Amino acid sequence: MTLTVSNNSLQIARVEPLTRTRALRGPFDYRLRPDQTVRVGSLLRIPFGGASTLGVVVELASRSELEPDRLAEPDAVLSGELPDDLVELARWMAGEYCSTVARALGLMLAPGAARGTRRREVLVASLSEEGARAPEDEPRLTAAQRALIEHLRREGPSVAACLGTAALRRLERRGLVALSVQDDRRARAMTTLRTRSAEIPRLTEDQESAVAEVLRALREHTPPPVTVGSALGTMSLVAGIYAAGFGRQPVRPADLGPESQFYQRMDGNGAALVSLAGAAR
């Protein structure tokens, strides 16, 4: 049976802070505000040790050994939570394997949950007024830089990591490009609107034939018909898939030149997402 508390009187949440300190022995009591509704397994952001950290509710009570005015209140109740049976399992694991409840609870959380609910943002590049006026054959620009400007002129604001943040920074210093951090959902919506209105390129006859051969090999569990000579094309395709996934927008072969972050590494140096302050703070 799951116990949920919606405050009408003094209610106490006993919380395990998610720290790796073995000497720390919880749980710790927190006084819930009237507007805070929690249950066993709820994920909270709590003040602890002079900082703000994550904690999991492991018990609910109506009294504490401390006076109510000495109890801190959770900063926020986050959207993530654990089923109460997993909380019980974590407590059993901590005792059985001589660990801490906090470490066991950390194993139960989904990847990234231990960092809290955060607003995801991306760095977006757009042409400045000077960049929009720059001629296509501007002699002070390299071919790769002209290609970046032409991409922004054609496609509009784009996720910087998909095009190559370092190259865009150099254009920003010259006043040709503007870079701004935007909410990931806004950038995704902007890309979706642009993608829906754009014509999706069709495969050529040779490309369709190659895809059919690969699919046939997968169905028959035989090696795909890929030669050593086609390795570069294969890696370019994989890099394009990674770039499109990180940037959430279509990628053309011309976008994957030496100026692109995905030219050297498949994850583009991991620069597609910028984590900022938690939304619950």
Q: What is the CATH number of domain 4-116?
A: 3.40.1440.60
What are the residue ranges spanned by the domains of the chain? Answer: 4-116, 120-278
**54-71 residue pLDDT tens:** 899 999 988 888 888 888
Is the peptide bond between 27 and the residue preceding it cis, with omega within 30 degrees of 0?
A: yes
- For the question of whether the overall pTM of this predicted structure is more than 0.75, the answer is no
Structure-model confidence comparison of residues 136 and 77, the more confident one? 77
For residue 2, which phi and psi values (nearest 5 degrees)? Answer: -95, 125
pLDDT exceeds 50 at position 270: no
**42-53 residue pLDDT tens:** 988 888 888 888
pLDDT exceeds 60 at position 272: no
Give the DSSP H/E element, type plus range, for residue 192.
Answer: helix 184-197
If you average pLDDT over residues 258-274, what whole number do you get? 59
Band of pLDDT at residue 258, cut at 50, 70 and 90: confident
Nearest to 276 by CA among 181, 157, 144, 169: 181
Q: What is the DSSP letter of 103?
A: H
Tell me if residue 36 falls in helix, strand or coil: coil
E strand residue ranges, 62-201 = 76-81, 118-127, 158-159, 177-183
pLDDT exceeds 70 at position 186: no
Distances in Å between the alpha carbon of 14 and those of 31, 45, 63, 93?
9, 13, 10, 19
